[in-house]
Amino acid sequence: MPTLKLKSYHAKPSDIQRDWFIIDASGQTVGRLASRVAHVLRGKHKPQFTPSVDTGDFVIIINAEKVVLSGNKLEDKIYYRSSLRPGNLKRMAAGEMLEKHPERILEAAITGMLPHTTLGRSQARKLHIYAGEKHDHAAQTPQPLDFGKFGI
């Protein structure tokens, strides 16, 4: 009886083809959008996904100022930042953050869903977030991302 040899696939950086996707964030909930974008940044929507290799695509998010926070998060959720100097802890409510720096809300949510390693940092570099309609990546011809196509 012949033995069956099964081979496992491990993606190589030279085999990876990266696409550019654009997402309109207006009216979308922050957490749901963040989990879907993290899925694409990691490359989990591709059949050649390998956990230890960056197989993900580039993602552009426009209209970050129009995202929706559910519940009482506009008043209750607090974002912290610090320069690591004594007495320098800054705190800002989500409502104020949405007015002043709407990109930071999505960036914090998405990077929190990526691995906290050098691989996760390289995946986060492929994320580009803009508060309004304009973006600087028209030359890359980004395609609109249809989440239903990937089953996410």
Average pLDDT of the chain, as a whole number:
94
Assigned domain for 58 exists: yes
146 lies in some domain: yes
Kindly state whether residue 6 falls inside one of the protein's structural domains.
no
Interhelix angle for 102-111 vs 30-42, to 10°? 60
Is 42 within the bounds of a domain? yes
Q: What are φ and ψ of residue 81, in 5° steps?
A: -150, 155
pLDDT digit string (tens) for 126-149? 999 999 999 999 999 999 998 777
Domain for residue 34, yes or no? yes
The answer as to whether 124 is a domain residue is yes
The answer to whether the pTM exceeds 0.95 is no
pLDDT digits (tens, 9 = 90+) for 10-61: 999 898 999 999 999 999 999 999 999 999 999 999 999 999 999 999 999 9
Examine residue 11 and state whether it is found in any structural domain, yes or no. no
CATH no. for residue 145? Answer: 3.90.1180.10
Domain residues for 119?
18-68+99-150
Q: How many domains does the chain have?
A: 1
Closest CA to 43 of 32, 53, 35: 53
